[in-house]
Structure 1
Amino acid sequence: MPRVSLFIADDVGLGKTIEAGLILRELLLRQKVHRVVVIAPPSVVLQWKGEMESRFGLGFALMDRQYVAEMRRQRGWGINPWATHTRFSLSQALVRDEAYAGPLCDWLGEEGKQALLILDEARNAAPASGSKFAIDSKLTRSIRDLAGRFEHKLFLSATPHNGHSNSFSALSEILDPTRFCRGVDVRKQDLADVMVRRLKEDQRQIGVELPQRMVVPEVIDGLPSDNPELQLAELLSRYREQRNQRLAAAGKRERAAENLVIANLQKRLLSSIAVFDRTLQVHMATLEKRSAQGGKRRPVRLEAFLIRAHLCPRLGQEGAEWYGERLLIFTEYADTKDWLELRVRELIVGSHRAEARIATFHGGIGNEKREAIKRSFNSPPSSIPLPAIPPPTTPKPTPARALKPSASATTSSEPS
């Protein structure tokens, strides 16, 4: 195609970044591209820069506040920082800022000839759509305004479709406005010309060896009936039934809003009682504001969640040795992350090099600390324990994992 408008939607782990690098290098060799901008989530901006440099020998400048300040110091306040290089990586958080988007538009011009946009995790730019119409987010509007200034566009996402046809057609229109139109269902024959999608199962069927994800449920039984988590779950279930009875005559919109409150409470209870406690206090304060009657609120007493059963049998003994593996823990809420870290640190006191066993990884972490944790994670646990913790009770070591509470509500047992 004269203009590259391509959506790489391969499954997770099949090398979308490498494919994008190969396409970029080919366009550079054919002299169809002279300027490149990679827009990626904040957590992988540095990774993109490193991958392009190490695998393809392509140097990228990281466009951020520090780079802008350095260019202004070297070349004067009036310099457009985008005009100081030909290849940039930019965070999706910054592309919404006019201080970065405005100079970028000036650098590209109206047509953006020989300019390539690589949008990683393109689903983030899809409009939100829970109803008939897709509603543009601030990121959607920013990407839409910029995309038309690039001659070539390359979108990457393992999950391009969020389940809403209007949202997907709007995202497709940003990629190729001549082929797709917002509000019009995307036809398969049109999509086949611009989308590449490979699944892991398809690759296994043709003989490609890929790691098999294993989801092993942890069954916790034999808990006493007075266990705090069980009691809280029972009380929350009763509370939901009472609210449903009270809202029986309410309108559909009001019932939906009230059910959302209970669903959020249930999610937080499943995450940890620490985050549930905080959310419950907010909920109770809201109810008190609504109520015309005052009254003294009794604090909810919550006990720590016992995680000792998931750790090494020798944990708690002085100088307890650790297995050579990593354990990775995901959590959706920052309160749960903090609570887990506190509890695990209490449990491992006295074990071998306990102070170097845990690290937390989250979206707001600094670039230097993020890279340091990644280097530690990829090093042998025997030489750099951070951030290893003992494995579940087992007679033999299992594949490597790492402990990094972050932003997801599941615990993964997929071997690395």
Structure 2
Amino acid sequence: MPVATPDKLLSLIAPGAQVVVRDEEWLVRAIEPTSADGVKVRCVGTSTLVRDAEATFLTKLDNVAPLRPEETRLTADLSPRFRASRLYLEAVLRKTPVPANQTGLALADRHLLKRLDYQRRAAHKAIAGLRPRLLIADAVGLGKTLEVGLILAELIRRGRGDRILVVTPRHILEQFQHELWTRFAIPLVRLDSDGIAKVRREIPANRNPFSHYRRAIISIDTLKNAGRYRHHLEGIHWDAVVIDECHNLVNRGTLNNQLARVLAPRTEALLLTSATPHNGDPESFAELIRLLDPTAIADPTNIDAADIDHLYVRRHKAHDEVAAEVRADWADRLQPQPLLIEASDAENAMFAELANTWIHPASGTAPTSGKGRTLFPWTLFKAALSSHRALGETIVARRNTLAKRDTPDEGTNTAAIATEDAALQRLGELNAAIDDTSASKLTALIEQLREIGVDPRSNTRVVVFSERIATLDWLAATVPKALKLKDSDVRVLHGGMADVRQMDVISEFGLAESGVKLLLTGDMASEGVNLHRQCHHLIHFDLPWSLITIE
């Protein structure tokens, strides 16, 4: 039988009171009398198991027991010079929010970072607004993570940063977490694939995993699964949400964009960061700004900078604010050294077939069929410019797709499919004639690595970029043997790896004692990853087609 609340306690139940119900502590939000079930008490959880969970109790069905101040038990402070009491009072003072009308930075000189006024201006701009919603679009190397840390620390000091969610690409989870903890003493629980599994083991199945920790950092690749996590995200409100590398959110209909649209209206403060927020399409940029303020841009084709000035900061290394403070600390960037490689006979034969049949066919039409037929020749071309291994993988994947479509179903053009398959077979045969000895770029890469001093006894470290995983795997199998490197001297990093493994590789490459000499990585490492600490040379094995990626 349910235990009802004694009538003598009903007068003590009021909004703001703390109560104990079902062995958990709750904060009363509102009360409402009912005709038959006593008083309806709306609460939010404060103890560990029910923290931030909302619930409604009826006093005729539950024993809602108020926590009475007069029943507080006093304990003598026996610590030397009342140390425990003074620490407690200091903690209370630190937790006392700064008044809202105080827009100056309250913690400006209490962090482990060099004082740079241009970084503080970004924090002040966010704090001065009624709602801290800001796009931080500073160029690479200016400290966007530090500006985020300054803003979050100020929000916490003002009592407006209790619940924080940071969303980043999975390969920089640990890096972002490390910066906020070591420089600003902001602890974020890392919810990578292992972290979420651990939370699910610790809490009941019907509990929201995002209410278990008040401050968390999670990969956008994990969180964007709308079907798996959306109902949890819709049931929780954040004080501050940070989305790093936000240029990945601009395309409507993508999972990243859907995730941002769920989070944006459910947070008071929203911070977006990207060194490349504008891809040249005003519609895409408007989509980003509308996450901060849906009413800021009325016409995406006619964006007035003055209308959105309060929503973004954008500085580069030559900006007056930046150059005055740190320009002298930066070495001039060296000019890249392009190496012109002469193709082998086998490669020339393959490229001739690719050009004459696919890129510039004499008939004017490439032998492609089905969806994407106009772009597929360039997909082959991009793969060939990376490596013959990447091209071979692309050809096999396309022929497998054609084999599945080559059925007598109505509407299938079997003749066009047969023509394309035959052309792919010819290209594949020429491509198969290329081996490690006739792959000219591989030979040039090995010679270049030897020239800059990569060998088993040296400490020279090199990052080699390629856009194709097949190319990375091929280089990992051939280059170490040619240079007589051990397996422990080489690491591969790409987006197909598990998030925990990605972070381990990045961390290992950044340690002087790890001994890793060669990092073979895809273009995922161009977004926010600090690879400079122990790196001496950067080589593009194949040039990215995006100028932004090269930059």
Give the TM-score of the pair, scaled to structure 1: 0.78
The residue type paired with residue 141 of structure 1 is: Q
- For the residue of structure 2 that corresponds to 1:359, the secondary structure is strand
Per-residue deviation at 1:77?
Answer: 2.7
1:21-40 Cα offsets, whole Å, 9 max, x none, are 00110111122222111111
1:129-154 Cα offsets, whole Å, 9 max, x none, are xxxxxx43222122112211111111
Using the alignment, how far apart are the partners of 1:148 and 1:44 within structure 2? 25
The residue type paired with residue 228 of structure 1 is: A
- For the residue of structure 1 that corresponds to 2:256, the secondary structure is helix
Counterparts of 1:8-87 in structure 2, within 5 Å, are: 8-87=136-215
Using the alignment, how far apart are the partners of 1:360 and 1:241 within structure 2? 32
Structure 1: any 5+ residue segments left out of the alignment?
A: 128-134, 390-398
Using the alignment, how far apart are the partners of 1:324 and 1:65 within structure 2? 34
1:272-296 Cα offsets, whole Å, 9 max, x none, are 1111122234456777854376998
Using the alignment, how far apart are the partners of 2:495 and 2:372 within structure 1? 29
Would you say 1:330 and 2:454 are equivalent positions? no
Counterparts of 1:131-280 in structure 2, within 5 Å, are: 135-181=252-298, 183=300, 185-202=302-319, 205-206=323-324, 208=327, 209-220=329-340, 223=342, 227-240=345-358, 243=361, 245-247=363-365, 257-280=372-395
- For the residue of structure 2 that corresponds to 1:245, the secondary structure is coil
Would you say 1:101 and 2:230 are equivalent positions? yes
Q: Which moved more, 1:97-106 or 1:260-269?
A: 97-106
- For the residue of structure 1 that corresponds to 2:363, the secondary structure is helix
Using the alignment, how far apart are the partners of 1:31 and 1:314 within structure 2? 54
Would you say 1:116 and 2:116 are equivalent positions? no
Query: Is residue 170–residue 182 contact of structure 1 (8 Å, CA) maintained in 2?
Result: no
Using the alignment, how far apart are the partners of 1:361 and 1:313 within structure 2? 21
Q: Which moved more, 1:91-100 or 1:203-212?
A: 203-212
Query: Is residue 200–residue 210 contact of structure 1 (8 Å, CA) maintained in 2?
Result: no
Larger Rg belongs to: 2
Q: Which moved more, 1:51-60 or 1:361-370?
A: 361-370
- For the residue of structure 1 that corresponds to 2:267, the secondary structure is coil
Per-residue deviation at 1:61?
Answer: 1.5
Structure 2: any 5+ residue segments left out of the alignment?
A: 1-128, 407-413, 520-533
> Which of structures 1 and 2 has the larger relative contact order (alpha carbons within 8 angstroms, sep 6+)?
1
Per-residue deviation at 1:218?
Answer: 3.5
Query: Is residue 172–residue 503 contact of structure 2 (8 Å, CA) maintained in 1?
Result: no
Equivalent in the alignment of 2:516: 386
Query: Is residue 170–residue 181 contact of structure 1 (8 Å, CA) maintained in 2?
Result: no
Distance 1:82-1:309 versus aligned 2 partners, 3 A rule: closer
Equivalent in the alignment of 1:392: none
Q: Percent identity?
A: 25
Equivalent in the alignment of 2:85: none
Using the alignment, how far apart are the partners of 2:254 and 2:310 within structure 1? 27
Query: Is residue 361–residue 405 contact of structure 1 (8 Å, CA) maintained in 2?
Result: no
The structure that is strand-richer by fraction is: 2
Query: Is residue 387–residue 402 contact of structure 1 (8 Å, CA) maintained in 2?
Result: no
Distance 1:227-1:143 versus aligned 2 partners, 3 A rule: same
Q: Which moved more, 1:80-89 or 1:150-159?
A: 80-89
Distance 1:217-1:258 versus aligned 2 partners, 3 A rule: farther
Distance 1:89-1:185 versus aligned 2 partners, 3 A rule: farther
Over aligned residue pairs, what C-alpha RMSD do you find? 3.7
- For the residue of structure 1 that corresponds to 2:493, the secondary structure is coil
| Among candidates 343, 356, 362, match of residue 494 of structure 2 | 362
1:41-65 Cα offsets, whole Å, 9 max, x none, are 1211222222211111111112345
Distance 1:405-1:358 versus aligned 2 partners, 3 A rule: farther
Q: Which moved more, 1:282-291 or 1:332-341?
A: 282-291
Using the alignment, how far apart are the partners of 1:356 and 1:64 within structure 2? 25
Query: Is residue 60–residue 89 contact of structure 1 (8 Å, CA) maintained in 2?
Result: yes
Total equivalences in the alignment = 378
The residue type paired with residue 159 of structure 1 is: T
Using the alignment, how far apart are the partners of 2:307 and 2:362 within structure 1? 47
Distance 1:326-1:68 versus aligned 2 partners, 3 A rule: closer
Equivalent in the alignment of 1:396: none
Query: Is residue 193–residue 499 contact of structure 2 (8 Å, CA) maintained in 1?
Result: no
1:312-342 Cα offsets, whole Å, 9 max, x none, are 6996xxx965432211111111111111111
1:200-259 Cα offsets, whole Å, 9 max, x none, are 2336743523243334233335x47x53223322332222466363439x9xxx999544
Distance 1:365-1:215 versus aligned 2 partners, 3 A rule: farther
Query: Is residue 171–residue 503 contact of structure 2 (8 Å, CA) maintained in 1?
Result: no
Using the alignment, how far apart are the partners of 2:365 and 2:515 within structure 1? 54
Would you say 1:345 and 2:480 are equivalent positions? yes
- For the residue of structure 2 that corresponds to 1:280, the secondary structure is helix
Using the alignment, how far apart are the partners of 2:261 and 2:312 within structure 1? 19
Distance 1:180-1:312 versus aligned 2 partners, 3 A rule: same
Using the alignment, how far apart are the partners of 2:149 and 2:186 within structure 1? 9
Per-residue deviation at 1:160?
Answer: 0.7
Using the alignment, how far apart are the partners of 1:63 and 1:278 within structure 2? 34
Equivalent in the alignment of 1:130: none
Per-residue deviation at 1:19?
Answer: 0.4
- For the residue of structure 1 that corresponds to 2:319, the secondary structure is helix
